[in-house]
Amino acid sequence: MELSESAALDLIIFGGAGDLAWRKLLPALYMAHRHGSLGERHRIIAVGRQDWPRKQYVEFVDRMSRPGIDPASMQPLHWQDFLRRLDYVQLDATQPEGYERLKAACQPDSVKVFYLAMAPDLFTAATAHLHGAGLVDANSRVVLEKPLGHDLASARAINEAVARHFEERQIYRIDHYLGKETVQNLMVLRFGNAIYEPMWRAPFIRSVQITVAETVGVGTRAGFYDHTGAMRDMVQNHLLQLLCIAAMEPPISLEADDVRDEKLKVLRSLRKLTPAQLRQDTVRGQYTAGSVEGERVPGYLQENGVPAGSRTETFVALRAHIDNARWAGVPFFLRTGKRLPRRQSEIIVEFSQPPFSLFGDQSGLQQPNRLLITLQPEESIRLQMMAKEPGSGLRMRPVYLDLDLQSAFTERRAEAYERLLIDVVKGRLTHFMRRDELEAAWRWADPILEGWDSLGDPPKPYPAGNWGPPAASALVARENVLWSEAQ
C-alpha cells in the first residue's frame, strides 16, 4: 500500500535506545527527513525499558546519534525539526501492560510500522502483545531485524509466531546489504545491458567471487557473536543474498514476488555439501593477535567476553555450486571474516579465457576479463580488459574500464538503511526477504554447520591483518583462481 504524503504513519522502534537504533536507524531517518522523504504526519516512537520521559530520550538521541551524521548534512534547524518527530514509550516487550501506553501514544488514524530492533527471542511476545492491544490491522507492517533464527527450526518458529498476527505481505525481513546502491544497480547492469546477459552464464563465466571483509573484531558483541559465528552472522544472509542477485534468472517483472521467486530458485539450486566434502570445500578460521591498519589487536580468544577455548569461527571461505543450466560447472567462492587487512565488499565475475591465444610467448601475460563490482568502502564497477602497451609490437597488459558511480551521478546517494526504511514507509517489499527465501537459505546452511560440529575440527588460526588461513588460498587455487587481493 503506497501512502499519500498527507497520511499519518507511526514508526515504532522496539529497542529504541539500543546500538542499532541510535547508530543506524535514527541517523538514516534524519537523512530521510532532511531530504523530504518523510511526510508531515510521519512520527517516530521509540520503545525501551528505560524509564525515561520524552525529553530525556530526545537528549539521548541528540548526544548519541548526532555526532555520527555527516557534518555536511547536519543542519541545526532540520535536526531540531527531526527531534520534534520523536516520542518515547517505556515498556517491557514481554509484558502486556505497557502496550496500552504505546497505543495511546500513536495517532489514532495512523499506519503503524513496528521495527523490532531487538533479540529475536522477543519477537513472539512482542507481536502477540501488539495484536492483543489492538495495534495490528490490515495496514500495519513489521520489520524483523536479523539474525532471524539460529538454524532452520528456530527460523521457522519465528516465522510462524509472527505469521499468527501479520500476513506475509506485511512482514519486512531486513538485510541492509540489499539496500546498497551497487547491489540494486546489479539488477540494471545485468538485465538492462544487452552486452552482459548473453554471456552471464557457463561456459562464458569461469568463476564468481563474493567477499565481505571486515577490519573490526567482535568489539562489545562477544556474547552474541560467540553463539553465532561468521557462517550464521554473514554467510547465511548477506553473502547468500548477494549470490542470489548475481545468479538469478531474469524475473518477469520488478514486482516483489517476481524478483523473490527467482532468488528462491537460486537458493533451491545450491548444491548441498556432504560431511565428506566439507574439508575440501570449506575453510573455517579464527583470528589470533596481530596488526590491523598499523594497530596491534588481540586475538579472538583474548577478547572480552569470549570463553576460553572457543571454537567459534571468525572467518569462512567456501566453494558453492548452483546446479542449473546457467551455472553448471561454475564455482562460486564466498568469503567473509573479521580482522582482515581492509574493509571491503565486492563481487568479482571472472570470464573464461579465449580458446586460442594469438600472442605466442605473451600468452602468459594474458589475464582473464573480470567484472569487479565494489560495494564498500567506495561503490564502483570496473571491467578489466587486455590492451596493447604503447610502442612497437603487440605487448599486452591489463587495463580497466572504470565506472565511478560517485562521479557518474552527482545526486546524493542514500545509505542502505535510509533506502530500506523509505521502502518500508512506501510499502515496497522487493528488497526484503520472503519467508521461503529465509528458510531455503537455512536449509542449505544447516548441513554445513552440523557437519563442522560432527567433524570436530577447530577453526584454523590466522593472524589479525591477514587474509585468513592459507587454506583459503588453496581452496581457490585448486580451480586455478586467485582471490582478488592476489591478482
SS3 322: strand
Hunting for cell 548473453 — which residue is that? Answer: 198
* Cα separations in angstroms, 120 against 117, 161, 171: 9, 11, 14
> Is 26 exposed, middle or buried (CB count within 10 Å of its CB: 0-12, 13-18, 19+)?
buried
- Say what angle helices 435-455 and 240-247 make with each other, to 10 degrees: 120
Residue 388 pairs in a beta bridge with: 396
Residues annotated as part of the active site: 238
Provide the grid cell at 86: 520523536
Between strands 42-48 and 9-14, the pairing is parallel
- d(C-alpha 384, C-alpha 397), whole Å: 10
* Cα separations in angstroms, 41 against 3, 85, 102, 105: 11, 9, 17, 14
| Size of the chain, expressed as the number of residues it contains | 487
Peptide bond connecting 355 to the previous residue in cis, omega within 30 degrees of 0: no
49: enclosing H helix or E strand: none
- d(C-alpha 194, C-alpha 250), whole Å: 13
Residue 382 pairs in a beta bridge with: 372, 402
The answer to whether the beta carbons of residues 142 and 164 sit under 8 Å apart is: no
- d(C-alpha 114, C-alpha 382), whole Å: 39
Hunting for cell 531474469 — which residue is that? Answer: 250
User: CA-based angle 241:231:229, to the nearest 5?
Assistant: 135
* Cα separations in angstroms, 372 against 16, 244, 294, 317, 351: 38, 17, 27, 19, 11
* Cα separations in angstroms, 26 against 91, 128, 352: 20, 26, 45
- d(C-alpha 406, C-alpha 426), whole Å: 26
Smallest Cα–Cα separation from 260: which of 178, 372, 355, 350? 178
SS3 355: coil
Peptide bond connecting 390 to the previous residue in cis, omega within 30 degrees of 0: no
- d(C-alpha 486, C-alpha 251), whole Å: 35
Hunting for cell 546457467 — which residue is that? Answer: 326
- d(C-alpha 129, C-alpha 123), whole Å: 10
- d(C-alpha 254, C-alpha 241), whole Å: 17
